[in-house]
Amino acid sequence: MNNGNLDVTDKEREAFMYMLRDSARENYPLNVSWCVSFEGERGNTCSMWGVVKWVDPKARRVQLANQKGSQWIDMEKITNVHA
């Protein structure tokens, strides 16, 4: 992300996808941040720590899971991924 902007470059998105697929393959946790927009508002950034359990290339989303539950996240809305 550039200067707090939520726009993600193609290079950043490729790096995120590599880490997400690697988490699913090697079963290690990541911290994933994504943007959630609300009607009439700019939206919020959400974060979750967990292991990628499923990558759905057709729907372009990933399932992140931890001890508390799981969350489906649209790939286009991901703003950051940390190992």
53 assigned to some structural domain: yes
State the Cα–Cα distance between residues 37 and 77, nearest whole angstrom: 10
Please tell me the total count of domains within the chain: 1
3 assigned to some structural domain: no
5 assigned to some structural domain: no
Q: What is the CATH number of the domain that holds 78?
A: 2.30.30.100
Q: How confident is the model at residue 39 (pLDDT cuts 50, 70, 90)?
A: confident
**Distances in Å between the alpha carbon of 48 and those of 10, 30, 39?**
22, 8, 23
Residue 69: domain span: 10-82
Of 29, 7, 6, the residue nearest 19 (C-alpha):
29
2 assigned to some structural domain: no
Query: What pTM value is reported for the model?
Result: 0.84
16 assigned to some structural domain: yes
State the Cα–Cα distance between residues 48 and 50, nearest whole angstrom: 7
49 assigned to some structural domain: yes
pLDDT tens readout for residues 16-38: 999 999 999 999 999 999 998 87
Q: Is the pLDDT of residue 6 over 70?
A: no
Q: How much is the average pLDDT of 37-44?
A: 76
On whether the CB atoms of residues 68 and 81 are closer than 8 A, the answer is: no
On whether the CB atoms of residues 25 and 17 are closer than 8 A, the answer is: no
Sequence-ordered alpha helix ranges (H) in the chain: 10-26
